[in-house]
Amino acid sequence: MKGAWREECAVFGVWGPEDSAQLAYLGLHALQHRGQESTGIVALDAGQFRIEKGLGLVSEFFTPERLAKLPGRAAIGHNRYSTTGSLTRENSQPLTGVFSGGPLAVAHNGNLVNTVELRRELEQCGALFQTTLDSELFLHLIALSKATTIEERVADAMRRVRGAYSLVLLTSTAVIGVREPHGVRPLVLGRHESGAWRVAFDGCAFDLIGATLEREVEPGEIVILDHRGLSSRRGLPAEARAQCIFEHVYFSRPDSVVFGATVDRVRKAIGHRLAEEQPVDADIVISVPDSSNAIALGFAEASHLPYEHGLIRNHYVGRTFIHPTQAIRDEGVRLKYNAVQAILAGKRVAVIDDSIVRGTTSRKLVRLLRGAGARAIHFRVGSPPITHPCFYGIDTPCRGDLIAATHDVEGIRRFLEVDSLGYLSLEGLLACEREGAAFCHACFSGTYPIALGESRDKLALEGPRRWVRAALAGQGG
Amino acid sequence: MKGAWREECAVFGVWGPEDSAQLAYLGLHALQHRGQESTGIVALDAGQFRIEKGLGLVSEFFTPERLAKLPGRAAIGHNRYSTTGSLTRENSQPLTGVFSGGPLAVAHNGNLVNTVELRRELEQCGALFQTTLDSELFLHLIALSKATTIEERVADAMRRVRGAYSLVLLTSTAVIGVREPHGVRPLVLGRHESGAWRVAFDGCAFDLIGATLEREVEPGEIVILDHRGLSSRRGLPAEARAQCIFEHVYFSRPDSVVFGATVDRVRKAIGHRLAEEQPVDADIVISVPDSSNAIALGFAEASHLPYEHGLIRNHYVGRTFIHPTQAIRDEGVRLKYNAVQAILAGKRVAVIDDSIVRGTTSRKLVRLLRGAGARAIHFRVGSPPITHPCFYGIDTPCRGDLIAATHDVEGIRRFLEVDSLGYLSLEGLLACEREGAAFCHACFSGTYPIALGESRDKLALEGPRRWVRAALAGQGG
Amino acid sequence: MKGAWREECAVFGVWGPEDSAQLAYLGLHALQHRGQESTGIVALDAGQFRIEKGLGLVSEFFTPERLAKLPGRAAIGHNRYSTTGSLTRENSQPLTGVFSGGPLAVAHNGNLVNTVELRRELEQCGALFQTTLDSELFLHLIALSKATTIEERVADAMRRVRGAYSLVLLTSTAVIGVREPHGVRPLVLGRHESGAWRVAFDGCAFDLIGATLEREVEPGEIVILDHRGLSSRRGLPAEARAQCIFEHVYFSRPDSVVFGATVDRVRKAIGHRLAEEQPVDADIVISVPDSSNAIALGFAEASHLPYEHGLIRNHYVGRTFIHPTQAIRDEGVRLKYNAVQAILAGKRVAVIDDSIVRGTTSRKLVRLLRGAGARAIHFRVGSPPITHPCFYGIDTPCRGDLIAATHDVEGIRRFLEVDSLGYLSLEGLLACEREGAAFCHACFSGTYPIALGESRDKLALEGPRRWVRAALAGQGG
Amino acid sequence: MKGAWREECAVFGVWGPEDSAQLAYLGLHALQHRGQESTGIVALDAGQFRIEKGLGLVSEFFTPERLAKLPGRAAIGHNRYSTTGSLTRENSQPLTGVFSGGPLAVAHNGNLVNTVELRRELEQCGALFQTTLDSELFLHLIALSKATTIEERVADAMRRVRGAYSLVLLTSTAVIGVREPHGVRPLVLGRHESGAWRVAFDGCAFDLIGATLEREVEPGEIVILDHRGLSSRRGLPAEARAQCIFEHVYFSRPDSVVFGATVDRVRKAIGHRLAEEQPVDADIVISVPDSSNAIALGFAEASHLPYEHGLIRNHYVGRTFIHPTQAIRDEGVRLKYNAVQAILAGKRVAVIDDSIVRGTTSRKLVRLLRGAGARAIHFRVGSPPITHPCFYGIDTPCRGDLIAATHDVEGIRRFLEVDSLGYLSLEGLLACEREGAAFCHACFSGTYPIALGESRDKLALEGPRRWVRAALAGQGG
């Protein structure tokens, strides 16, 4: 599965070392797969904020000149995925403002479900909005809180919002990390061996910057990194854990430790289980690279079949690639993958993918494999059919576009034009985790752990982004 | 006088015609001499704001691609001069936000004198600031007003601020023009011959866009341009007029009609009066181009002396010019003006300038003229000695840098190294205006028409910009 | 006259001082009016050439970063005007190459008349061309010469080309200046007061860089600036002088000394003579700014009429200006000039211009003046009717577009819609020069001092650029 | 092996289809791994050349705007790797010029060994050089040839040069492909299924553009693609084949068919042979991704050991990555690879790499694996020790920097700090090819199939690039 199911953001914060913005840059680099359309860093230099943010990949936007404008011993950063319409520099994070307590910056990963109601209420109080982002609500809630400390103000804000979020905040005296009470999205703490400083962030990337993973930020916890070191307080009581299982299936890098498990190991277990549940009589096993590699390797191992690199991914065909005109495309251009004829010709092939969203990319792959001479194609998927949209921070198509919401397995098999098709069961998937009950699986089951409230039906129909945008559209911006 | 005395801004608004942003661009172009460091346009397109703003001259920043992103039938624009420190895209105008009444943009020319007190008060109410600009106060005051119409909200805001300002606002239904009750800064209405639409703006530029000057916006008046045409209401009662006389002496283009008079005609009258008050026995009259040309022509006429182009200005040596290294400069490089030896050699020269701020540029010019062979140099100035800073929207050096605040005329003459020096009297200057009493002359007289309040002493010492910036510095941003 | 009659180039060279490229930059800046579409500098640094060239104004293209890449104690530079078709970085000058004698760069002002024949011949010898410029012929002729010294090679090249040219060359050991035997285009030598170094260049600009004009490079002379100072040798015998009179009428800055005369003084004399030949009964005299200012001042003086600034030029409406759409233009937009109603209304106006090429701009101006209320308009022109194209380095429209080639004076008067029209006679114009016989006046008289040869008829029909381009088109590039 | 051993270029040509430049762009994209520092395309549009070339990756340099400037039905393109010193737009290919036969462009992959002698000779004949590239020699040799057809001129040029080269040329009537007589570098022909057009190029990339591989261009052959289709003639008689074996070991993409074999299959055979020659007692096999993946998979298969993804490559750490300051680097930053602790901890690991050049990167990897807990590390290399530099188009370090030129296997083992080290034998490597005798293995054996001549000793000492650059330095450029 590629491209149709995107995590919206990544956040990162660091307190203490000289040139903290450089570490933020490296951290965002390691998290680049989680947000490729805008990026930004706010650094704290002698009590002043320095801000550089804009459209583009981390690796495109940040030039040495820009990084050099971000001195100081604390920094937070953000990568963002966004749909085209609202893709502007203004909507890039971190968001900043000055309130009575001084300057404040926020970087946010996740999605709120009471955005529209909250925003209307705040506007009635005289709040002036700069963006259409959920994240700005946190800034206003903190500024309007009557509490006197920043931690109390943050806790006040947590009481008002509902949804999934992991936040990193910067003030003139601290970096603050916040994880919402269900723990849907990850947020972890790292420590550098020098002992002196700690880093809060989301996902992998500690290795890249020479730190080691210390622990997760607990659901509902507020952690404060400042000149005294690390301190912690509870913002809200923890709720039942509802960790996003798609982090293990697809989003995270294989070398990450997420929700306490190494992703590569979970995926290999998925491959073993998939081979057990959906065995195949084939000559070779191939992966849809790169996210399905570990699942495919596990599948091959458990099936005692040879694993081959039958599909090659064109790494350079990325965001900046200029897509050819239709005339050229009609010539049979194949952009993203190339099938290796010498491996595939005459073979019965087990193709392993992590998931299927719309099915259109998978069908193209299948035709590519047939063109290279595959004699039979057996498609195996390392997760259950996706039948429901996500409202907690993943950008998903509206329900009608999820092929498994409208087709049964046989229907999907015919659509994909494969000889056989097998999905991993939900039970099987959860069994690959140490504690299956701690995971959110709403996209497979429709069981949403955080109440969606009255807007649920509309949300389900249109997808959360489109609906919020429409609701706020009259207000411009 | 060149460069040391700068108007901070220009504003422009248009309602009605297709591609209004193009007219805003042309208008800003005509006003480019009033703000060369940042620029911006907000256009209203189908109820949505489109914003393009950034650093640079109008002619540099706006490319065809950028203008093409600003469709719609209403637009406001802004040019800004700013000191280096706070020169950022964030501090570029127009400023925008969304409040309970919808989207709002403001472009502001002028300077407030109760900024610090107001801002502290608003932050206590939970307001979140994005910039250190006066102009943002208007956005918050309008958002926080309990009134129900936008005009009432604007009038509420006018009651809270003190200082000089001409505003142009954009909402999703109107362009609104506001002029403060003393009328320090200009703001005028233009009408296009098609009859259908009107334009509100500041300064000249109607000719450029094919409109004709209709009338001034009255001091204290709020004008609304919307689909019904022009309407008007009073925001505050008018106070005694205090029009900035420097608009006539230096800032405005000679072809502008400002405060009801054509600038070229006022300047020619100044030249006549100057010849009367400070006659000269010379062979030729030359101008310090270009702002003093009309004064010099009037002086030559009244003195019955020939007018010559003895100084040539290097037009291309502008903002983008790369200044040579000291080593090269020591070679005797002369960048801004060139003296014409064939005109000056052996002559007794009357040099006419509009004003003297620091005196350093004037002394360089005098040396240039001597180098070209001038036998005697008689310097005549079309305004009185400048002894006090401006707090109403002109960026002036602090008082210690004004040569006339620390030297008498003979001292200045010696500093300039000229054979004689003569200033126009304040009485004489005011006599060149139809109604001299309607003008602010605080920079010549120290009589400030709008009370400066308790902060006066600090302001007078440090200059207004520096003081406000220091006061807000603890708050970052 | 504005815009329709353009000098193609400016050249500049300097030997000796540290950071010579900075002086070249300043010199090109002063010559910016002579070539605004591409620019370049080649610096000699420790025996290696450093090259920066590209499209745009000197002031746009050269950034501090680019200048910093041009260290060294010698440099040559070039500004170029070019028509759109061939406006590429490749066609920017200086042109460079490496031949058996080492690296060589050439900057060329002028136009050859035997380009096509010469190029064909060189190609037959195996020469490989990079551009369609005349200037490249010099590089190849020097490389192919059998002579052993660079001066002899240059003299060999001079024997082969026919036309108007002023060259500045750079080798690894010298800056070399070359002026063709008729002296059509200027080329002068300047000396810095430090005595140590000299500069060769074309036009004005010595003042700007702190040098003084030493003398003209003689027609047919080769001057060599190197570590020994200045030396000179004859390349070809001098022919009868044929200096371009348009340098005095229009191209040069008023403060320049060109062909031994200060331009402002020649223009003032033209004004006097014009008043004598074509007297006017008017209330005021106005100039078409800025090139006609001195002529108009002279005309006013001799006519005893007041000189007024009735037309204001919009200085910012330059090359980078975005022209409005037709819809907006139809609103009556007036871009380049603004007429001052308070000066013009009800007046009989004498309008002074230096020349008329197509007549279309003049007609627009006349309508602008009428719109501002001028009661009568008497147009006076400081040169004779232009009836023939130039083949010596000025980019002129083809003959059919020259209004005086197809209309008599009465016809032109009707076209311009003026009350009277008067041109200065050729005799009168030449009388304003110390030695009228030393000037080329082919554009007024059709008498071409350098033989055009067999291609004359085609050239006369199509204009030289178009014809050469067509002749070379089959060869691409 | 990563980074230290780089192929210098890739070439591509297409004749026939509309928007040929788009196909050239796609082709260069697929070949991006072969040249990442400059790129260019020349398109033939109505008899005229359109050229876009410059510094940067294909995917960075070519924007939709730039591609849109390249219409036409024929195009050639080039990617280039280059060392820093001479990395300029001027040295980007394709190179172009106009000779007596019209416009000509050349794109060249390879390296000549008689550059210096040839260039001196051509300069004596009056040739004017624009670059320091070998490739320019072909342009001059073709222009100076006395032959009358372009094919004859090309054959003349082939007779004069010595070295390895694959050329693609564009004229106003054809795309021409040329492969040197030993066939060191690949050059192949593809045909589109529409039948109508053919493509000549180097490496893979036919799949991407919907064409199929037709055949290799023969060593010594000249192929002409024009409106009549494909024609061919012999330029020089074929010599003994000397195909670069490194194409199979490292440079080519696994899905390419190069010298008649699918690269993935050759590499898997290498893995099998390596397991046979250098068996290992280990728990897991891991690859140094991505170029060694197929070798490692073959090794694991033959060894009956599990294959794991123990090293993850950070794909985004590419050419545009900003490297951290030393202070930050000292914190333990790990940029290029990440080791997966959950896979490696406590394991005996067989690490498979394709080759070792300097050994420094390998040692870093080894330390990374130890840090992740690997108990034992057995390094296996899929090719023999590299002891000699390449003079035929690969940019290699000078001999002293090749670790195997100065250390024996035990010395290298100690340097790498591994428990055991094993290289594949040359005999073993050649046995993995269908016809081992047809390959050049000079870098392993020192047996150079194309005579290096008198300059050999110098070349061997300094590496070919540095020597040629020094020899030409006196001539600037």
Say if the Cβ atoms of B474 and A47 lie within 8 Å: yes
* A94 within 8 A of A105, measured Cβ to Cβ: yes
Calculate mean pLDDT across residues B18-32. 84
pLDDT at B18 over 90: no
Write the single-letter amino acid at A163. Answer: G
For B211-260, write each residue's pLDDT tens digit.
788 899 999 999 999 998 899 999 999 999 999 999 999 988 898 889 99
Whole-number pLDDT of residue C452: 81
> How high does pLDDT run on average in chain D?
86
Nearest-angstrom CA–CA distance, C147 and C153:
5
Say if the Cβ atoms of D338 and A208 lie within 8 Å: yes
Residues in chain A with CB shorter than 8 Å from the CB of B127 are 99, 126, 128, 143
Calculate mean pLDDT across residues B155-183. 95
Whole-number pLDDT of residue B477: 33
Judged by 3 or more CB pairs under 8 A, whether A touches B is yes
Among C126, C3, A431, B317, CA closest to D147: C126
Whole-number pLDDT of residue B455: 53
Whole-number pLDDT of residue B83: 44
The strand pairing partners of B170, in sequence order, are B105, B175
For D119-137, write each residue's pLDDT tens digit.
999 999 999 999 888 889 9
- Of C9, C432, C440, C443, which residue is the catalytic one? C9
Say if the Cβ atoms of A126 and B144 lie within 8 Å: yes
The pLDDT confidence band at residue A19, using thresholds 50, 70 and 90, is confident
- Closest partner CB to D102 (pick from C126, C127, C476): C476
3-state class percentages of chain A: helix first, strand second, coil last, to nearest 5: 35, 25, 40
Q: Which residue has the higher pLDDT, A22 or D81?
A: A22
**Could you tell me the sign of the dihedral formed by the alpha carbons of B340, B345, B347, B349, in that order?**
positive
Calculate mean pLDDT across residues A75-80. 90
Whole-number pLDDT of residue B393: 82
Q: Which two tokens stand for residue C161?
A: 């080309």
Which 8-state DSSP code applies to residue D386?
P
The pLDDT confidence band at residue D395, using thresholds 50, 70 and 90, is confident
Residue of chain B nearest A146, judged by CA positions: B126
pLDDT at A201 over 70: no
pLDDT at B189 over 50: yes
Whole-number pLDDT of residue A476: 34
* C56 within 8 A of C39, measured Cβ to Cβ: yes
Residues in chain A with CB shorter than 8 Å from the CB of B474 are 47, 102
Whole-number pLDDT of residue D196: 53
Say if the Cβ atoms of A314 and D208 lie within 8 Å: yes
Environment class of residue C434 by beta-carbon count within 10 Å: exposed (0-12), middle (13-18) or buried (19+)? exposed
* C392 within 8 A of C351, measured Cβ to Cβ: no
C433 to each of A147, B344, C7, C238, C249, how far by Cα in Å? Answer: 86, 20, 21, 21, 11
Query: B102-111, C74-83, C449-458, D362-371: lowest mean pLDDT where?
Result: C449-458
Mapping DSSP to helix (H, G, I), strand (E, B) and coil, where does residue C42 land? strand
Q: Which residue has the higher pLDDT, C140 or B4?
A: C140
Say if the Cβ atoms of A19 and D328 lie within 8 Å: yes
Write the single-letter amino acid at B51. Answer: I
Q: Which residue has the higher pLDDT, C200 or A343?
A: A343
pLDDT at C34 over 60: yes
Residue of chain A nearest B122, judged by CA positions: A100
pLDDT at D144 over 60: yes
C-beta neighbour count of A159 within 10 angstroms? 11
First-residue to last-residue Cα distance in chain C: 34
For C131-177, write each residue's pLDDT tens digit.
888 889 999 999 999 999 999 999 999 999 999 999 999 999 999 99
Mapping DSSP to helix (H, G, I), strand (E, B) and coil, where does residue B248 land? helix
Mapping DSSP to helix (H, G, I), strand (E, B) and coil, where does residue D362 land? helix
Residue of chain D nearest C147, judged by CA positions: D126
- Closest partner CB to B172 (pick from A90, A172, A476): A476
Q: Which residue has the higher pLDDT, C42 or D63?
A: C42
Residues in chain C with CB shorter than 8 Å from the CB of B39 are none
Residue of chain D nearest C98, judged by CA positions: D129
Query: B48-57, C267-276, D39-48, D99-108: lowest mean pLDDT where?
Result: B48-57
pLDDT at A198 over 80: no
Whole-number pLDDT of residue B192: 77
Environment class of residue C437 by beta-carbon count within 10 Å: exposed (0-12), middle (13-18) or buried (19+)? exposed
Whole-number pLDDT of residue A182: 96
Q: Which residue has the higher pLDDT, C408 or A252?
A: C408
pLDDT at A443 over 60: yes
Query: A8-12, C301-305, C319-323, D171-175: lowest mean pLDDT where?
Result: C319-323
Nearest-angstrom CA–CA distance, A423 and A443:
14
Write the single-letter amino acid at C350. Answer: A
Nearest-angstrom CA–CA distance, C441 and A318:
62
Calculate mean pLDDT across residues A317-327. 57
Calculate mean pLDDT across residues D199-218. 74
pLDDT at C79 over 90: no
Say if the Cβ atoms of D98 and C130 lie within 8 Å: yes
Å from D427 to nearest chain A CA?
A: 25
> How high does pLDDT run on average in chain A?
86
Say if the Cβ atoms of D476 and C47 lie within 8 Å: yes
Provide the residue count of chain B.
477
Mapping DSSP to helix (H, G, I), strand (E, B) and coil, where does residue C33 land? helix
The pLDDT confidence band at residue A75, using thresholds 50, 70 and 90, is very high
pLDDT at B457 over 90: no
Alpha helices in A350-406, H assignment, sequence order:
360-371, 403-406
Residues in chain D with CB shorter than 8 Å from the CB of A293 are 309
D12 to each of A15, D42, D140, D175, how far by Cα in Å? Answer: 50, 11, 21, 10
Mapping DSSP to helix (H, G, I), strand (E, B) and coil, where does residue B13 land? strand
Q: Which chains touch C (3 or more CB pairs under 8 A)?
A: B, D
Q: Which residue has the higher pLDDT, D300 or D56?
A: D300
Residue of chain D nearest C50, judged by CA positions: D477
**Could you tell me the sign of the dihedral formed by the alpha carbons of B317, B321, B326, B328, in that order?**
negative
Residue of chain B nearest C321, judged by CA positions: B59
Q: Which two tokens stand for residue C463?
A: 């204009």
Q: Which chains touch A (3 or more CB pairs under 8 A)?
A: B, D
Judged by 3 or more CB pairs under 8 A, whether D touches B is no
* C348 within 8 A of C373, measured Cβ to Cβ: no
- Interface test with chain B among C259, C312, C368, by most B beta carbons within 10 Å: C312
Nearest-angstrom CA–CA distance, D419 and D280:
11
Q: Which two tokens stand for residue D348?
A: 């005996």
Residues in chain A with CB shorter than 8 Å from the CB of D29 are 314, 316-317, 321
Give residues with Cβ within 8 angstroms of B186, minimum separation 6.
B166, B202, B203, B216, B243, B247, B258, B259
Query: A114-128, A129-143, D88-102: lowest mean pLDDT where?
Result: D88-102
Say if the Cβ atoms of A309 and D297 lie within 8 Å: yes
Residues in chain A with CB shorter than 8 Å from the CB of B477 are 48-49, 96, 98, 103
Write the single-letter amino acid at B333. Answer: V
Query: B8-17, B143-152, B385-394: lowest mean pLDDT where?
Result: B8-17
Give residues with Cβ within 8 angstroms of C78, minimum separation 6.
C9, C10, C11, C12, C28, C35, C39, C40, C41, C53, C92, C93, C94, C107, C108
* D contact set with C (CB within 8 A): 47-49, 51, 90, 96-100, 102-103, 123-130, 139-140, 143-144, 172, 473-477
Nearest-angstrom CA–CA distance, B413 and B420:
7
Count of CB contacts below 8 A, C vs D?
A: 94
Q: Which residue has the higher pLDDT, B252 or C76?
A: C76
Calculate mean pLDDT across residues B414-442. 97
Residues in chain C with CB shorter than 8 Å from the CB of B257 are 342
Helices (H) and strands (E) in chain B, counts: 18, 26
Residue A147 C-beta-side C-alpha neighbours within 13 Å:
14
pTM of the predicted protein model: 0.85
Count of CB contacts below 8 A, A vs B?
A: 97
The pLDDT confidence band at residue D23, using thresholds 50, 70 and 90, is confident
Nearest-angstrom CA–CA distance, C442 and B19:
47
The pLDDT confidence band at residue D241, using thresholds 50, 70 and 90, is very high
For C342-396, write each residue's pLDDT tens digit.
999 999 999 999 999 989 889 989 999 999 999 999 999 999 999 998 888 887 7
pLDDT at A462 over 50: no
pLDDT at A236 over 90: yes
Q: Which residue has the higher pLDDT, A56 or B306?
A: B306
- Closest partner CB to D67 (pick from A25, A60, A322): A322
Whole-number pLDDT of residue D83: 44
For D263-282, write each residue's pLDDT tens digit.
999 999 999 999 999 999 99
Nearest-angstrom CA–CA distance, D340 and A255:
5
The pLDDT confidence band at residue D460, using thresholds 50, 70 and 90, is very low
Give residues with Cβ within 8 angstroms of B51, minimum separation 6.
A90, B40, B41, B42, B94, B96, B105
Q: Are strands B284-287 and A311-313 parallel, antiparallel or unpaired?
A: unpaired
The pLDDT confidence band at residue C1, using thresholds 50, 70 and 90, is very low
For A24-66, write each residue's pLDDT tens digit.
888 888 777 776 778 999 999 988 999 999 888 887 888 888 9
Query: B71-75, B321-325, B378-382, C83-87: lowest mean pLDDT where?
Result: C83-87
Query: A147-151, B154-158, B473-477, C48-52: lowest mean pLDDT where?
Result: B473-477
Nearest-angstrom CA–CA distance, B370 and C128:
55
Whole-number pLDDT of residue C115: 87
**Vertex D128: Cα angle to D122 and D130 (nearest 5):** 115
Mapping DSSP to helix (H, G, I), strand (E, B) and coil, where does residue C151 land? helix
For A395-412, write each residue's pLDDT tens digit.
777 788 899 999 999 999
The pLDDT confidence band at residue C192, using thresholds 50, 70 and 90, is confident
Q: Are strands C376-381 and C420-423 parallel, antiparallel or unpaired?
A: parallel
Calculate mean pLDDT across residues C408-428. 98
Among A184, A175, A27, A10, CA closest to A108: A10
pLDDT at D449 over 60: yes
Residue A451 C-beta-side C-alpha neighbours within 13 Å:
4
Nearest-angstrom CA–CA distance, C133 and C119:
10
Query: A325-334, B183-192, C25-34: lowest mean pLDDT where?
Result: A325-334
Whole-number pLDDT of residue C335: 67
Give residues with Cβ within 8 angstroms of B94, minimum separation 6.
B40, B41, B42, B51, B53, B76, B77, B78, B105, B106, B107, B168, B170
pLDDT at C401 over 50: yes
Nearest-angstrom CA–CA distance, C256 and C205:
8
Q: Which residue has the higher pLDDT, B289 or B430?
A: B430
> How high does pLDDT run on average in chain C?
86
Torsion of CA D63, D69, D74, D78, to 10 degrees: -40
The strand pairing partners of A53, in sequence order, are A40
Say if the Cβ atoms of A128 and B49 lie within 8 Å: no
Among A421, A425, A423, CA closest to A378: A421
Say if the Cβ atoms of B340 and C264 lie within 8 Å: yes
